Chain A
Amino acid sequence: MIGDDQDLLWVIAEQAGGEILPVCLELIGHARKLAIDLGARVEVILLGSKIDHLAGRLISAGADLVYLGNAPDFEPYQPEIFTESITSLAMRNRPQVILIGSTFMGRELAPLLAAKLGTGLTAHCTNLVWGENRLLEQQIPAYGGIMTIVCPEKRPQIATVARGVFPIPDLEEERTGEIVPVEIPQGLETRVKTLKIVHSEPEGVPLETAPLVVAGGAGAGSFEGWQEIQELADTLKAAFGSTRPAVDEGWTDLETMIGQSGKMVNPEVYIGIGLSGEQQHMVGISGAKTMIAINNDPKAPVFDQVDYGIIADCRVFVPALVRKLKELRESSGSAAHDV
């Protein structure tokens, strides 16, 4: 079974609609890399109902063992049941590290676990590497640089990571691993209960997988300006994203926010319009091949972080660009091609 001297790196996985969320696979892949350095085991906890078929996928992604809770009471997510199950497993098995995706569930569950286990937690990490003595260096962007956070004494070391930070690992179908069933905790007094989940259809092109992203910031100036940028995104058939200041203005909501505590995007081409290039936003754009910025402030930090810059008032430039794009489309007689 588990060697006492072997470190355990855990990933708390999440599933929805019969599928593992991509961020979990990414975390398992990264945990695998961390595990190799240390000679550790990767173990994954997945709770839900009718999810037999998912354990194998987790193992293919790199899990040596899957704790599988497969019962109707594990669906939907119930904070007290999940916290109790995972906490008692953690107290018995003492993992070194627990990684959790920065999903809405993860952002509630992670601090509950950290508080129950009396340990530290870092949010929205953009990298995780080993330091000395099995100390996990948890990196986040801050003040224009990279801040490293560690949890020197308490265990486990817990970190949340957003989708798109780490690559999706190759799935090895032949990999084998153990599956350990997890039972519903007995005699648990619950005071909070999810009664119902109401899904809404996401609008537009999904950001995380879009090859072309247009993002707007507070420089749009007004809701009219904002709509003009949205029109550009529509005309280019691009995914449309935003910055925190734009969300704060009320022009859009958190679901479109690109950034450290929002969505990570990985497009071929990124166009940032009317945004200053604030680090919390820019760190959400990993490895875009070509980055372009349009801003009327030549001192805006964004111009240090892109390949092409245009100094212009977006209220003037964006409509002109849209006009020209539409002209081109009409004259070429065909719709713009999807990349």
Chain B
Amino acid sequence: MIDFTFTEEQELFQKAAREFAETKIAPHVPEMEENDETWDPVIKELCEGEMMAITIPEEYGGLGLGYTVRMIALEEIARVSVATAMMMQVGGLGIDPIILFGTDEQKQKYLPGLASGEHFATVAVTEPTGGSDPKGCRTTYRKENGSYVLNGRKCFITNSHIADVQVVLAMDEDNPEAYSTFILEKGMEGFEPTHIEHKIGMRGCNTGEIEMKDCEVPAENLLGPEGKGMRVSMTAISECGRAGMIGCALGLQAACLEAAVKFANERILYGKPISKLQAQQFKIADIKIDLEAGRLLGYRASATHDKGERAGNEYAVAKYFTTEAAQRAAKIAADMHGGYGCMEEYAVTRYVRDSFVLGPSAGTSDIMKVIVSRWALS
């Protein structure tokens, strides 16, 4: 028999995450909307609130709670601020390769600081020459005097300016078939964040570019086997990364549903609330059906992941579904608001803008379909 409910403990985590989101994150949202580069307060809260420790094993100072709890936390935080949830999700994504492929020394060196929130992580794969095609990567590395020297540039990197631990994919200068993944640290000579992007949505979420110019990286910062780095980066993205986007999308859907219901109950037309009109009821039903489905897909994937099984395919289905559904939900909710759905003071307009950024993150919807068709055809 399948039990589709959270355990008592998961419900407590959900309550805790909701309290955290409402008391510690929500107050910063207006400022983040106003000034796109105001992420410090929420990053501080995420770190102090133990949110970055969720997936890190207890022996390294983490909470060892797994990916379902992570998704629960992301959903609650995204309900209040998708921008914050995004930075949290990519922070977790930067941690994952170290957990999966790090040596004991690397885990000892990085994980405790990442768990305590002293340090923040990210993963950097995408470049102007390819994101959907990670092999479009032109950042190169070469061996020199026992270290590696990296050259290149990554774009659309979340936490580009915040993260002091960055997991970077590069191509062997001499062999375009070989990739390696490296752990770069803020302050390394020749490595710096450069341009900050300003997105129409998820404002306050740090997205930007990083540049490596003859950046010398010590040999012990190679993550995973040399030449097999594609697998190191992509495993994390295909599971932890997709899972994170699902959490963000579910939270946004939940927020859209709440906004739609509230407005429908309060808006009086023809002498009664529009929630009495069947056309509006059906719109709410659309959002609700998608949210119910999305939750089941997402938590099914995370439960599979928590059991220690591969979950990339299940995550791809859920990522596709929830990020597309969130975009629909935001549009429907905005439409229901009529003219108010164009006005900045109404949160629903922020939801529309935020929803745009969900699609291309951690793999576009088209790429998700590539994965899923491969799964079906195999």
Direct contact between A and B judged by beta carbons closer than 8 A = yes
Contacts of B266 in A (CB 8 A): 296-297
Q: Which residue of chain B is the closest to A297 with respect to CB atoms?
A: B266
Q: Is B279 in the interface zone, CB < 8 Å from A?
A: no
Contacts of A298 in B (CB 8 A): 268
A245 CB to closest chain B CB (Å) equals: 16
Of residues 242 through 270 on chain B, the ones whose CB sits less than 8 Å from some CB of chain A are 266, 268
Contacts of A297 in B (CB 8 A): 266
Contacts of A296 in B (CB 8 A): 266
Give the distance in Å from the alpha carbon of A298 to the alpha carbon of B266 in the complex. Answer: 8
Q: Which residue of chain B is the closest to A311 with respect to CB atoms?
A: B268
A296 CB to closest chain B CB (Å) equals: 7
Q: Which residue of chain B is the closest to A315 with respect to CB atoms?
A: B345
Give the distance in Å from the alpha carbon of A297 to the alpha carbon of B268 in the complex. Answer: 9
Total B residues in contact with A, Cβ cutoff 8 Å: 3
B264 CB to closest chain A CB (Å) equals: 13
B298-334 interface bits toward A, Cβ cutoff 8 Å, 1 = contact, 0 = none: 0000000000000000000000000000000000000
Interface of A: prevailing SS:
loop
Give the distance in Å from the alpha carbon of A299 to the alpha carbon of B276 in the complex. Answer: 14
Contacts of B268 in A (CB 8 A): 298
Give the distance in Å from the alpha carbon of A296 to the alpha carbon of B266 in the complex. Answer: 8
Total A residues in contact with B, Cβ cutoff 8 Å: 4
A219 CB to closest chain B CB (Å) equals: 12
B100 CB to closest chain A CB (Å) equals: 45
Contacts of B273 in A (CB 8 A): 299
Q: Which residue of chain A is the closest to B265 with respect to CB atoms?
A: A299
A26-55 interface bits toward B, Cβ cutoff 8 Å, 1 = contact, 0 = none: 000000000000000000000000000000
A316 CB to closest chain B CB (Å) equals: 11
Q: Which residue of chain A is the closest to B266 with respect to CB atoms?
A: A297
Give the distance in Å from the alpha carbon of A299 to the alpha carbon of B265 in the complex. Answer: 9
Give the distance in Å from the alpha carbon of A299 to the alpha carbon of B268 in the complex. Answer: 10
Give the distance in Å from the alpha carbon of A286 to the alpha carbon of B273 in the complex. Answer: 32
A260-302 interface bits toward B, Cβ cutoff 8 Å, 1 = contact, 0 = none: 0000000000000000000000000000000000001111000
Give the distance in Å from the alpha carbon of A199 to the alpha carbon of B327 in the complex. Answer: 58
B347 CB to closest chain A CB (Å) equals: 13
Give the distance in Å from the alpha carbon of A208 to the alpha carbon of B268 in the complex. Answer: 37
B338 CB to closest chain A CB (Å) equals: 15
B266-309 interface bits toward A, Cβ cutoff 8 Å, 1 = contact, 0 = none: 10100001000000000000000000000000000000000000
A275 CB to closest chain B CB (Å) equals: 16
Give the distance in Å from the alpha carbon of A83 to the alpha carbon of B76 in the complex. Answer: 51
Give the distance in Å from the alpha carbon of A298 to the alpha carbon of B268 in the complex. Answer: 8
Give the distance in Å from the alpha carbon of A28 to the alpha carbon of B186 in the complex. Answer: 77
Give the distance in Å from the alpha carbon of A296 to the alpha carbon of B265 in the complex. Answer: 12
B130 CB to closest chain A CB (Å) equals: 46
A137-180 interface bits toward B, Cβ cutoff 8 Å, 1 = contact, 0 = none: 00000000000000000000000000000000000000000000
A274 CB to closest chain B CB (Å) equals: 14
Of residues 217 through 237 on chain A, the ones whose CB sits less than 8 Å from some CB of chain B are none
A248 CB to closest chain B CB (Å) equals: 14
A299 CB to closest chain B CB (Å) equals: 8
A191-227 interface bits toward B, Cβ cutoff 8 Å, 1 = contact, 0 = none: 0000000000000000000000000000000000000
B262 CB to closest chain A CB (Å) equals: 11
A294 CB to closest chain B CB (Å) equals: 15
A310 CB to closest chain B CB (Å) equals: 14
Give the distance in Å from the alpha carbon of A207 to the alpha carbon of B79 in the complex. Answer: 41
Give the distance in Å from the alpha carbon of A299 to the alpha carbon of B198 in the complex. Answer: 42
Give the distance in Å from the alpha carbon of A76 to the alpha carbon of B273 in the complex. Answer: 57
B236 CB to closest chain A CB (Å) equals: 41
Q: Which residue of chain B is the closest to A299 with respect to CB atoms?
A: B273
Q: Which residue of chain A is the closest to B273 with respect to CB atoms?
A: A299
A220 CB to closest chain B CB (Å) equals: 15
Of residues 130 through 171 on chain B, the ones whose CB sits less than 8 Å from some CB of chain A are none
Give the distance in Å from the alpha carbon of A299 to the alpha carbon of B267 in the complex. Answer: 10
Q: Which residue of chain B is the closest to A298 with respect to CB atoms?
A: B268
Give the distance in Å from the alpha carbon of A297 to the alpha carbon of B267 in the complex. Answer: 8
Of residues 83 through 114 on chain A, the ones whose CB sits less than 8 Å from some CB of chain B are none
A222 CB to closest chain B CB (Å) equals: 10
Give the distance in Å from the alpha carbon of A299 to the alpha carbon of B266 in the complex. Answer: 8
B355 CB to closest chain A CB (Å) equals: 25
A223 CB to closest chain B CB (Å) equals: 11
Contacts of A299 in B (CB 8 A): 273
B269 CB to closest chain A CB (Å) equals: 11
B196 CB to closest chain A CB (Å) equals: 30
B340 CB to closest chain A CB (Å) equals: 11
Q: Which residue of chain A is the closest to B268 with respect to CB atoms?
A: A298
Give the distance in Å from the alpha carbon of A297 to the alpha carbon of B266 in the complex. Answer: 6
Of residues 317 through 363 on chain B, the ones whose CB sits less than 8 Å from some CB of chain A are none
Of residues 287 through 339 on chain A, the ones whose CB sits less than 8 Å from some CB of chain B are 296-299
Give the distance in Å from the alpha carbon of A297 to the alpha carbon of B273 in the complex. Answer: 10
Q: Which residue of chain A is the closest to B345 with respect to CB atoms?
A: A315
B29 CB to closest chain A CB (Å) equals: 13
Of residues 198 through 241 on chain B, the ones whose CB sits less than 8 Å from some CB of chain A are none
Give the distance in Å from the alpha carbon of A296 to the alpha carbon of B340 in the complex. Answer: 15
A277 CB to closest chain B CB (Å) equals: 16
Q: Which residue of chain A is the closest to B271 with respect to CB atoms?
A: A298
Give the distance in Å from the alpha carbon of A167 to the alpha carbon of B87 in the complex. Answer: 62
Give the distance in Å from the alpha carbon of A102 to the alpha carbon of B268 in the complex. Answer: 42
Give the distance in Å from the alpha carbon of A298 to the alpha carbon of B274 in the complex. Answer: 13
B126 CB to closest chain A CB (Å) equals: 39
Task: Give me the 4 closest cross-chain CB pairs, A-B, nearest first.
Answer: A298-B268, A297-B266, A296-B266, A299-B273
Question: 4 A-B Cβ contacts within 8 A?
Answer: A296-B266, A297-B266, A298-B268, A299-B273
